[in-house]
């Protein structure tokens, strides 16, 4: 592995997020549009071999951390082989973000393949509300998946929660209290302006300060030391085993520490989630690009990485669907 490439703002880019599919077996209200959605055809998406090749490129350029996302990544028939091949490259930290629906039976095999960590999206603890928010999902399958992940020894378990005013914001304390008995990371992620979901408004977004105020009413919330990487600001309730994190792209700008690039399922490298800038990796690979040319494309993406997102300027045009980019 080479030294991590530094961008124009002196940030070391050592983290790659890869969306391996835009398909999902749920239709969460803040992620997917209500109506019909056109999915990528198989030929429009990166193959497992192409994904693994690009991870080799990224590893040569100093990337040590990879997260596989979707859509729902466990819908890929070749996901286990992909995990094993990526880990074999030498990636130190390999994680998956999943809704958990297919995770129960796959957890042991994912662990054996080399998966280090898992994030599970779970926006409510209530069965009926889960069915409503996911447009038909069964929360029982998520709890079974969490138990399976614990048995497989994949840790820490991170649970991603998107609070939406009037929908699930009354459960913030209940989620936080899970950390009293479980060594879980509960991460509250502010609702982001995904254009076609129709859920975005500033009023619907429950911001970090409000959540901290609610949670602090049930116990002292101590701030943990920030190591200068990643968007989460972490806290612990007094006496708790687990951690409570806040990812706050609306109320706080964490771009100063951003260390990541994103590769979409259809082979576009995005230097920033909230940016239209994309570099077409797939076409270059399929046209026979050499390893040296792939290295140059990676460095090009790093060189055009912006100083920060433009959410506060109400520039949301780049996010038509989170499932197309990778959550």
Q: What is the pLDDT of residue 310?
A: 63
Ranges of beta strands (E only) in the chain are: 5-6, 12-13, 15-19, 65-69, 93-98, 117-121, 157-161, 185-189, 221-223, 233-237, 243-247, 260-263, 268-270, 279-280
CA dihedral 84, 90, 92, 93 (to 10 degrees): -40
Residue 289 has a CB neighbour count (10 Å cut-off) of 17
Candidates 3.30.950.10, 3.30.2350.10, 3.20.20.70, 3.20.20.140; CATH matching 5-325: 3.20.20.70
Q: What is the pLDDT of residue 201?
A: 73
What is the overall mean pLDDT for the chain?
Answer: 91
The reported pTM is 0.93
300-303 own/partner pairs: CB under 8 Å, 24+ apart: 301/261, 301/269, 301/270, 301/271, 302/5, 302/6, 302/7, 302/13, 302/61, 302/261, 302/271, 303/7, 303/8
Residue ranges in the chain whose pLDDT is less than 50: 196-197, 317-318
206 by DSSP, 3-state: which?
Answer: coil
Q: What is the pLDDT of residue 318?
A: 47
């Amino acid at each position: 592995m080479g030294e991590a490439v530094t961008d124009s703002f002196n940030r070391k880019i050592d983290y790659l997020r890869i969306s391996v599919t835009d398909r999902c077996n749920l239709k969460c209200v803040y992620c997917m549009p209500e109506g019909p959605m056109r999915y990528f055809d198989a030929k429009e998406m990166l193959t497992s071999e192409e994904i693994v090749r690009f991870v080799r490129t990224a590893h040569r350029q100093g990337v040590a951390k990879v997260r596989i996302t979707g859509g729902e990544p466990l819908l890929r028939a070749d996901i286990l082989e992909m995990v094993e091949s990526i880990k074999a490259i030498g990636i130190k930290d390999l994680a998956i973000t999943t809704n958990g629906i297919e995770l129960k039976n796959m957890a042991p095999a994912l662990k054996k393949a080399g998966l280090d960590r898992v994030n599970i999206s779970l926006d409510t603890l209530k069965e009926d509300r889960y069915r409503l928010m996911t447009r038909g999902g069964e929360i029982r399958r998520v709890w079974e998946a969490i138990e399976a992940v614990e048995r497989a020894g994949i840790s820490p378990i991170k649970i991603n929660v998107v609070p939406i005013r009037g929908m699930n914001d009354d459960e913030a304390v209940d989620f936080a209290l899970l950390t009293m008995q479980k060594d879980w990371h509960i991460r509250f992620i502010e609702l982001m302006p995904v254009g076609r979901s129709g859920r975005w408004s500033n009023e619907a977004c429950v911001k970090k300060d409000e959540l901290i105020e609610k949670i602090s009413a049930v116990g002292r919330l101590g701030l943990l030391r920030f190591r200068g990487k990643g968007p989460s600001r972490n806290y612990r309730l007094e006496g708790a085993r687990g951690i409570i994190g806040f990812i706050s792209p609306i109320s706080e700008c964490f771009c100063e520490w951003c260390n990541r690039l994103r590769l979409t399922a259809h082979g576009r490298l995005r230097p920033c989630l909230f940016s239209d800038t994309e570099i077409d990796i797939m076409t270059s690979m399929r046209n026979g690009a050499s390893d040296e040319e792939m290295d140059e494309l990676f460095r090009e993406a790093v060189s055009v990485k912006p100083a920060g997102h433009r959410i506060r300027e109400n520039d949301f045009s780049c996010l038509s669907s989170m499932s197309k980019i990778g959550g």
